[in-house]
């Protein structure tokens, strides 16, 4: 019997998707583009784009904000890692990872290579990618004994999207997902939490694996059945495709750091604003949180990766500067004495209660011990931008410009914003101009 994923993947049209899901797809796309612009300025992005240009030569797709033409797999690799270079993109609680980071650059690369630039088809495919990617992520956590990065399940979603773009039949679609899951990066997330480096969340490698898998399947290569799709223990996840729209479950990141660090950061920002404090009023900071947040243990970051996978550092930045943005994740911030003082002052503990709430809820409680002897407590605090209390479009747009304008200039960023937020609203619209705006070098 044919799996329900196949019909949903190949038969869903623009008109089948609820308007709020389309709106969210445009919103997440704009946010991903902004984060890509911010990430493009990192060493990680520079290295991976040069690597793709040297090792993934060929034609068909241009890399994001780079302009060099490479194979679709190379463009997906470079794009996924460039977005992941700045940990500010959308995510999902139960996947403990990020869907858009891998599927968006892969879909761009595939559509360039196959000259499929019809806007409504692109937006429809993007929504489908979120639906498949979210389910694949939840399924992997059920079927694997270890916690793997987003790339492990993004590979499956990208292969499925590729099968849609290449119009593969059901049999070859199944092979593509099987190849992608088998060859995808079963990378263990907590290894890079404990030792933050450029491997990060594996999203770019998963994107590359998924694109490669679909072209292999097209040529007749075969793969083992994808457990995350076909195992009986996950059948319920796939039975409601087209009824439950999991794109609605993604969260928005206000800050370019690991989501696990953001409850403590938000608690400090709340206390700072509510009590009109500066960092010089604070003697030390005490944090009670969940185990995974405590594992973000870097206090003295030397690289942007270490800064992004830290609870202490961005929380100290928030107390000193009243915000935390891309510039704060650059090496120029690491030696600031006041930030270092507060980062070193932190006592971070975990709570059984907060551990039990994870991953559905990520909670921290912060106490500021002031120099005058007072103690101010935040109470249980969660990061902003969860789907239960979503960010406004104005907030998303403001973040996009804060990240994109320094690289692209206001005029180019404004044009991108206009195209993305109106994507697919006119039948027959073509994405060629938007593609050129996203791939032209800076």
Q: pLDDT tens across 196-225, in order?
A: 999 999 999 999 999 999 999 999 999 999
Residue 391 gets which letter from DSSP?
P
pLDDT-derived band at 108 (thresholds 50, 70, 90) equals: very high
Report the CATH fold assignment for 4-254+393-439: 2-methylcitrate dehydratase PrpD (1.10.4100)
**Residue 57 has what pLDDT?**
86
What mean pLDDT comes out for the span 85-93? 97
- pLDDT over 50 at 298, yes or no: yes
What mean pLDDT comes out for the span 383-408? 97
Q: Which of 305, 340, 86 is nearest to 191 (CA)?
A: 305
pLDDT-derived band at 331 (thresholds 50, 70, 90) equals: confident
- pLDDT over 90 at 268, yes or no: yes
Contacts of 10 (CB under 8 A, 6+ apart): 163, 164, 167, 170, 173
pLDDT-derived band at 395 (thresholds 50, 70, 90) equals: very high
**Residue 145 has what pLDDT?**
86
**Residue 433 has what pLDDT?**
95
CA distance 287 to 302: 23
pLDDT-derived band at 179 (thresholds 50, 70, 90) equals: very high
Predicted model pTM: 0.97
pLDDT-derived band at 86 (thresholds 50, 70, 90) equals: very high
What mean pLDDT comes out for the span 48-74? 96
> Which architecture, in CATH terms, is 259-382?
2-Layer Sandwich (3.30)
- pLDDT over 90 at 107, yes or no: yes
What mean pLDDT comes out for the span 277-291? 98
What mean pLDDT comes out for the span 29-54? 97
pLDDT-derived band at 104 (thresholds 50, 70, 90) equals: very high
How high is the mean pLDDT of the chain? 96
What mean pLDDT comes out for the span 71-76? 98
**Residue 427 has what pLDDT?**
82
Contacts of 189 (CB under 8 A, 6+ apart): 96, 97, 147, 148, 149, 201
What mean pLDDT comes out for the span 375-379? 98
**Residue 2 has what pLDDT?**
72
- Write out the DSSP string of 51-72: HHHHHS--SSEE-TTT--EE-H
Structure token digits, residue 428: 């027959």
Contacts of 282 (CB under 8 A, 6+ apart): 319, 342, 345, 368, 369, 370, 371
CA distance 249 to 251: 7
Which spans in 56-118 are helix H? Answer: 72-84, 100-113
**Residue 1 has what pLDDT?**
45
Domain limits, the chain: 4-254+393-439, 259-382
CA distance 146 to 243: 30
- Write out the DSSP string of 198-245: TTTT-HHHHHHHHHHHHHHHHTT------HHHH-GGGHHHHTTTTTS-
Which tens digit of pLDDT belongs to each residue from 120-143?
Answer: 999 999 999 999 999 999 999 999
Please state, as a whole number, how many other Cβ atoms lie within 10 Å of the Cβ of residue 92. Answer: 24
């Amino acid at each position: 019997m044919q799996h329900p994923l196949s019909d949903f993947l190949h038969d869903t049209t623009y008109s089948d998707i609820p308007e709020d899901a389309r709106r969210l797809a445009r919103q997440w796309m704009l946010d991903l583009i902004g984060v890509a612009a911010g990430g493009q300025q990192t060493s990680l992005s520079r290295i991976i784009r040069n690597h793709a240009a040297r090792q993934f030569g060929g034609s068909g797709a241009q890399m994001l904000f780079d302009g060099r033409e490479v194979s679709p797999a190379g463009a997906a690799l470079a794009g996924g890692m460039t977005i992941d270079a700045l940990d500010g993109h959308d995510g999902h609680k139960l996947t403990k990872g990020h869907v858009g980071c891998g599927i968006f650059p892969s879909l761009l690369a595939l559509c360039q290579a196959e000259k499929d630039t019809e806007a409504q088809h692109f937006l429809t495919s993007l929504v489908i990618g979120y639906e498949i990617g979210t389910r694949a992520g939840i399924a992997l956590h059920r079927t694997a004994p270890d916690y793997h990065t987003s790339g492990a399940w993004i590979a499956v979603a990208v292969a499925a999207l590729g099968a849609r773009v290449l119009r593969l039949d059901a049999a070859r679609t199944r092979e593509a997902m099987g190849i992608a899951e088998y060859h995808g990066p079963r990378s263990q997330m907590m290894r890079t939490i404990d030792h933050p480096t450029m491997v990060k969340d594996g999203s770019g490698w998963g994107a590359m694996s998924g694109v490669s898998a679909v072209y292999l399947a097209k040529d007749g290569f075969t793969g083992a059945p994808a457990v995350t799709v076909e195992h009986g223990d996950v059948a319920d996840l796939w039975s409601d495709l087209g009824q439950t729209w999991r794109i609605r479950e993604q969260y928005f990141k206000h800050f370019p750091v690991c989501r696990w660090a953001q409850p403590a950061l938000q608690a400090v920002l709340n206390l700072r604003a509510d009590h009109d404090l500066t960092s010089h009023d604070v003697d030390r900071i005490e944090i009670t949180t969940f185990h995974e947040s405590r594992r973000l243990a870097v206090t003295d970051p030397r690289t942007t990766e270490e800064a992004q996978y830290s609870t202490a550092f961005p929380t100290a930045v928030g107390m000193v500067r009243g915000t935390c943005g891309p510039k704060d994740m650059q090496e120029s911030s690491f030696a600031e004495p006041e930030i270092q003082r507060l980062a070193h002052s932190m006592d971070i503990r975990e709570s059984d209660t907060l551990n039990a709430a994870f991953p559905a809820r990520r909670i921290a409680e912060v106490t500021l011990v002031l120099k005058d002897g007072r103690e101010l407590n935040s109470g249980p605090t969660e990061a902003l931008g969860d789907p239960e209390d979503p960010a406004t479009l104005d907030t998303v747009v403001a973040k996009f410009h804060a990240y994109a304008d320094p690289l692209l200039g206001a005029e180019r960023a404004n044009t991108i914003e206009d195209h993305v937020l109106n994507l697919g609203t006119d039948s027959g619209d073509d994405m060629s101009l938007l593609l050129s705006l996203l791939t032209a070098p800076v």
